[in-house]
Amino acid sequence: MSQLTQSVLYYGKDEPLPEQIPLRAGPLQLLYENGDLRYIKLGDQELVRRLYVAIRDRNWGTVLPRYSNITVEIQPDSFEIQYDVVNQQGEIDFRWHGVLRGEANGRVTCTLDGAAHSTFLRNRIGFCLLHPMGIAGAPARIEHVDGSQETYVFPQYIAPQLFIDGLIKPVAPFEELRAVAHEVTPGIWAKVRFTGETFEMEDQRNWTDASYKTYGTPLRLPFPVQVEAGEHIAQAVTLSLQADDPAQLAALAKAPTIATPVTLTLDRTAPPRPLPALGLQINSHGTALNAQEIARLQALHLHHLRIDLHLAQADYDADLRRAITEANALGVGLEVALCVTDNATVELTKLTSLLAELQPPVQSWLLYHVKEKTTSERWITLARTILASYLSQARLGGGANAYFTELNCVRPPAELLDVVVYSVNPQVHAFDNSSLMETLAAQTVTVTSARQFCGDRPIAVTPVTLQPRFNPNATGPEPEPAPGELPSQVDVRQMSLFGAGWTLGSISALAQGGAQSVTYYETNGWRGVMERATGSPLPQRFQSIPGGVFPLYHVLADVGDFADGAVITTHSSADLCVAGLALHKDGQLRVLTANLTAQAQSLEVRGLPATVNVHILDVTNVEAAMGAPENWRVKAATMQQTHAGTLALELSPYAVLRIDGDLKS
């Protein structure tokens, strides 16, 4: 009998996803979802990824909206949607009326009219517009608030933000904006105009959002800002099309948006890349692994375990001892992250005494300073001196303990490091399922962009988590979770098929970008790859099978079977719908694909051998795979014949597919 509902197995929550309503504004196609406009397209050209309103508190936390009085009027080539919204959390009480209007001439207008019902501190109130990262390299026309105009291009590699007085600000000319237009195709431009606030644009790929975001208020201004009760705020955003030839516009509007079926093509002509070395973090709840958990982790063929040591704390030796015990039991090395203070000489010297006693199997040291965005030369030189006798068999790494943007803004002295590091999570700015899946493509660009200033230094992405581990930009302490609420570091999708698909997409993106090493999640617990034997501490909020694995465990096991193998380049015709990873080792091929959506997908996998074995993990069998992973992993696959190397399949929502074949056949 099923223990978990279908929705929980899909994405961790026993509740439906927001409805997506297709709309048209003349030649434009788009979706309405939960107050936002998404995926505004002209034919197969995506113009705007998302347009929404954000209310951000003094710590950059998002105050979620509550909608009421929603009215929707839809015509074949136009629409009007109105609603009332309350954003209320803690001291914040902001209420507003929204209108979204699409016209037959292709004009889309969105307005916000609201007022504060309390006095509070905010970092942002207003519209955010996301241009898709697919327009990288496209010409842009910038209109500033003073009426001046510039021409530019959207950057190919991730543009570094600037730190000024401890704040991040965008690189000119994407600041003091009144309007921005980009060339969709020669002769056709999409123009967005903003009123009611001064806007600026940042390259959100710095945080693995697959977009360029335009927002107000400019970050050059001090924040947080006090909003007085009764204060009125009104803004508007308008998208319009400009075409030299109306016939060309009409032709583009008729182009198909997504090919059916989705195709995943193996590119045998591109040079294969080494599969990154994969590892996990030791768990944060502090409970030692039991024998069954050790055996299950051994089946992942991990390369390393990560342990974080804050050397100013007196009791870090207990964590190190536990990490050594678990690494030795798994037969892997340690990735040891050292966080030092200005008293680093004393801290590192004390550490060496402990190292002499414990002799940990360290493969990599990662060095961070508590007050620095990235590791500076001073601490690297100091660590090389004090840890000299422990560096002959281990690498010294440094960079950012938080986001890629810190690495990109304050670039470390890569020539002094053996490996350059940064971490990844998909939930800095948005939290819905679609937005998380969008981040996968941007992970590739973080690696290729880092390569521009790191040269040939190896790049380690560590760790990769679904939620931020901490808030590096908070202006106040993080509040403790309310009774019955999950900690901010926990995401219910960790235990779901969604988590498995996202993990597969992440491994593929970072591998194809050229990362040498990637560290994921924790060993067990609700931030890990399997549940503890005692089960979830909050089983009503985080639903899982006590002692069972999470679906993403099977993705890591499938990839782990090919450890030290190579990655074949793949191309998905719809990378927001289907992700793929192709591996080969010793003449064997393994292709993993995942449906990233809540809708069934027709899929063709191209470039396969004549005969393959197919294994599917989906909602019909995932509970068996979670509860008894050893039995499920040896379950016989289905042998299928391809048609000239092409295999056609139907993938149910969030399903994960494994295809095995012999490259020599």
289-331 pLDDT, tens digit per residue, is 999 999 999 999 999 999 999 999 989 999 999 999 999 999 9
Mean pLDDT, range 22-43, rounded to an integer:
96
The residue with greater pLDDT, 223 or 305, is 305
Angle at 565 between CA 563 and CA 569, to 5 degrees: 125
Helix or strand (DSSP H, E) at 120: strand 120-132
The per-residue b/e assignment along 440-461, b for 16 or more CB within 10 angstroms, e otherwise, is bbbbbbbbebbbeebeebbbbb
Q: What is the pLDDT of residue 480?
A: 84
State whether the Cα torsion 213-594-499-433 is positive or negative.
Answer: positive
Instruction: Kindly indicate the confidence band of residue 399, based on its pLDDT and cuts at 50, 70 and 90.
Output: very high
Q: What is the pLDDT of residue 168?
A: 55
Q: What is the pLDDT of residue 235?
A: 98
Find, among 282, 391, 398, 281, the residue nearest to 340 by Cα.
398
Q: Are 529 and 523 in contact (CB under 8 A)?
A: yes
State how far the Cα of 280 lies from the Cα of 524, in Å rounded to an integer: 10
Q: Write the Ramachandran bin of 337: left for phi over 0, alpha for psi from -120 to 50, otherwise beta.
A: beta
pLDDT over 90 percentage in the chain: 87
Q: 395 Cβ partners below 8 Å, 6+ apart?
A: 363, 364, 365, 418, 419, 458
Mean pLDDT, range 413-432, rounded to an integer:
96
The SS3 assignment for 205 reads helix
Torsion of CA 65, 69, 70, 74, to 10 degrees: -160
Instruction: Kindly indicate the confidence band of residue 1, based on its pLDDT and cuts at 50, 70 and 90.
Output: very low
As to burial, measured by CB atoms within 10 angstroms (0-12 exposed, 13-18 middle, 19+ buried), residue 568 is: buried
Find, among 273, 275, 274, 208, the residue nearest to 443 by Cα.
208
Statement: residue 57 has pLDDT above 90: yes
555-588 pLDDT, tens digit per residue, is 999 999 999 999 999 999 999 999 999 999 999 9
pLDDT over 70 percentage in the chain: 97
Find, among 239, 20, 288, the residue nearest to 111 by Cα.
239
Statement: residue 135 has pLDDT above 80: yes
Q: Mean pLDDT in the chain?
A: 94
Long-range CB contacts (< 8 A, 24+ apart) of 79-83? 79/23, 79/24, 79/25, 79/32, 81/32, 83/35
In the chain, count of helices (H) and strands (E)?
Answer: 12, 37
Q: What is the pLDDT of residue 39?
A: 97
For the record, the structure tokens of 535 come out as 């089960």
The residue with greater pLDDT, 470 or 385, is 385
State how far the Cα of 448 lies from the Cα of 617, in Å rounded to an integer: 32
Q: What is the pLDDT of residue 169?
A: 56
Task: Return the residue matching tokens 């391809």.
Answer: 642
The DSSP code sequence of 339-392 is: EE-TTHHHHHHHHHHHHHHH---EEEEEEEETT-SS--HHHHHHHHHHTGGGSS
Q: What is the pLDDT of residue 174?
A: 85
Q: What is the pLDDT of residue 250?
A: 78
Residue 509 vs residues 447, 577, 579, 654: alpha-carbon distances, Å? 9, 14, 9, 18
Q: What is the pLDDT of residue 59?
A: 85
233-263 pLDDT, tens digit per residue, is 999 999 999 988 888 777 777 766 666 899 9
Q: What is the pLDDT of residue 17?
A: 94
Q: What is the pLDDT of residue 465?
A: 98
Statement: residue 631 has pLDDT above 50: yes
State how far the Cα of 226 lies from the Cα of 206, in Å rounded to an integer: 28
State how far the Cα of 375 lies from the Cα of 455, in Å rounded to an integer: 17
State how far the Cα of 122 lies from the Cα of 88, in Å rounded to an integer: 12
Mean pLDDT, range 642-657, rounded to an integer:
97
Helix or strand (DSSP H, E) at 52: strand 45-57
Q: What is the pLDDT of residue 663?
A: 87
Statement: residue 163 has pLDDT above 60: no
Q: Model-level pTM?
A: 0.94
For the record, the structure tokens of 223 come out as 């924040």
479-490 pLDDT, tens digit per residue, is 788 899 999 999
595-616 pLDDT, tens digit per residue, is 999 999 999 999 999 999 999 9
529-554 pLDDT, tens digit per residue, is 999 999 999 999 999 999 999 999 99
